[in-house]
Chains A and B, each alone.
Chain A
């Protein structure tokens, strides 16, 4: 089958690879209908996440049609249209029982790698380096889905393929942040990043009762999508000082909840950005926490910060004094999608969450490398490049 593979720093190529097989009795094999780029892929492409190998098949946000079913699978049959959570969880371990699905004990066949990096092994994820299991991704004609009864969700009849696609990662990641950040009705929430995840976090915040939601970015097409499809306020950080503007809009308090949906390759306009870039390129720090620092500074005292953007290692010049003295709650997580995806699909069907607008570019898989270049450089107003392996 054809698959889009990582071949080197910022390089991808479509190659012919073996078809996936059923390896465990809880697996299904999915014929991929749609598979999208995600901001976290850029960290993989750029070589910032260790344990990638040339030849790894990319893609972790996808939906499709079941074509083969393992012997122990009960909830799916051949022909079912499903969307699959990017994280792989067993449903049986203690973490799954606590609905902390991205922390599943049994989703990652290579636990020693993340146990060494971080002190404990987290769950597995499609196409997110060998540290997270080495599972082949979905930018391919077919993909193997382990623990399919847990991780594959039927798409309701009223929901299109394209709408359902973003219930695989962007929407549940946004919900995880908004839900676990502790938003109470009437709160002001600020979201850094107007990409897929940031937009979904903002929408989730609104549906969870936030009275005022502000999304921060610099790309006009993304800010426009926020106003048009999410219904939140926007803030262009190249036009306004973020901390000052947020204070202005909150009577001097600062937001109650800050959600960082930017991650380790943050961009900014200040001198700190140059410092972070230099240190990162010299590999003296692995992550650029530019947006995170700003969120910590902007958050009201006693408020809450949720880190949704992916970070891998160590950050420098981190304002821990602000966190401690301002009495902040700081939390982070990869998505616990299994907890939210069915509800998200219902809300999409009911018109409460709009996701299709994120797919600014739909391409055949053969144009994968071009798609990633466009996505990385934000060319042509690209928000997400979606691949159709069948074309």
Chain B
């Protein structure tokens, strides 16, 4: 994740940003300057090995995928550092939601939409 602040602001005194600190030993975290005046690159690597191939797809679909947690934590950390808050959208006003198959798919996809960009 690239963050529009310098590395000392992203990890002051090498403190891991809150959302990533919550993942504890699941990840190792490091920060370094991004080229071209773009701020910092914050990296979080899963300590355990990642699933590959069919197991990878299955893990993503299951909703219980540590990679999604890491990605979501990185996005949260970025927003907290750049803006001070994580942008919320729920609850939002809406009309009747009749249960439909496509509606269910959109709802499921949206629930995972703070995670990785490959659903």
Whether the pair B93, A93 counts as a contact (CB closer than 8 A) is no
Encode A145-163 as 1/0 by CB contact (under 8 A) with B: 0110000000000000000
User: A198 at the A/B interface (Cβ < 8 Å)?
Assistant: no
Encode B36-55 as 1/0 by CB contact (under 8 A) with A: 00110000000000000000
Whether the pair A54, B78 counts as a contact (CB closer than 8 A) is no
A133-B113 Cα distance, complex, nearest whole Å = 9
Q: Could you say which residues of chain B place their CB within 8 Å of the CB of A108?
A: 87
User: A264 at the A/B interface (Cβ < 8 Å)?
Assistant: no
User: Which of chain A's residues has its CB closest to B2's CB?
Assistant: A94
Whether the pair A116, B78 counts as a contact (CB closer than 8 A) is no
A144-B92 Cα distance, complex, nearest whole Å = 9
User: A136 and B88 in contact (CB under 8 A), knowing A54-B103, A90-B83, A94-B2?
Assistant: no
On chain B, which size bracket covers the interface?
35 or more
User: B32 at the A/B interface (Cβ < 8 Å)?
Assistant: no
Whether the pair B93, A130 counts as a contact (CB closer than 8 A) is no
Whether the pair B98, A54 counts as a contact (CB closer than 8 A) is yes
A136-B91 Cα distance, complex, nearest whole Å = 10
Q: How far is the CB of B82 from chain A (nearest CB, A)?
A: 4
From 60 to 119 in chain B, residues with beta carbon under 8 angstroms from any chain A beta carbon are 71, 75, 78-79, 82-85, 87-98, 100, 103, 106-107, 109-110, 112-119
User: A115 and B117 in contact (CB under 8 A), knowing A1-B93, A136-B92?
Assistant: yes
Q: Could you say which residues of chain B place their CB within 8 Å of the CB of A19?
A: 93
User: A174 at the A/B interface (Cβ < 8 Å)?
Assistant: no
> Main SS of the interface on chain A?
loop
Whether the pair B94, A106 counts as a contact (CB closer than 8 A) is no
Whether the pair A130, B82 counts as a contact (CB closer than 8 A) is no
Whether the pair B89, A15 counts as a contact (CB closer than 8 A) is no
Residue in contact with B95 in the complex, picked from A20, A50, A54, A147, CB distance below 8 Å = A54
User: B6 at the A/B interface (Cβ < 8 Å)?
Assistant: no
Whether the pair B92, A134 counts as a contact (CB closer than 8 A) is yes
Encode A110-126 as 1/0 by CB contact (under 8 A) with B: 11111110010100100
A7-B88 Cα distance, complex, nearest whole Å = 24
Whether the pair A130, B113 counts as a contact (CB closer than 8 A) is yes
User: A231 at the A/B interface (Cβ < 8 Å)?
Assistant: no
Whether the pair B95, A7 counts as a contact (CB closer than 8 A) is yes
User: A105 at the A/B interface (Cβ < 8 Å)?
Assistant: yes
A370-B36 Cα distance, complex, nearest whole Å = 51
Q: 14 A-B contacts, Cβ less than 8 Å apart?
A: A1-B93, A15-B95, A17-B94, A53-B103, A57-B94, A97-B4, A105-B78, A106-B79, A106-B87, A112-B112, A113-B110, A130-B106, A135-B92, A136-B94
Q: Nearest 7 pairs between A and B by C-beta?
A: A115-B117, A5-B95, A110-B113, A15-B95, A55-B95, A23-B88, A17-B93
A interface, CB within 8 angstroms of B:
1, 3, 5, 7, 13, 15, 17-21, 23-26, 50-57, 72, 90, 92-94, 97, 105-116, 119, 121, 124, 130, 133-136, 140, 144, 146-147
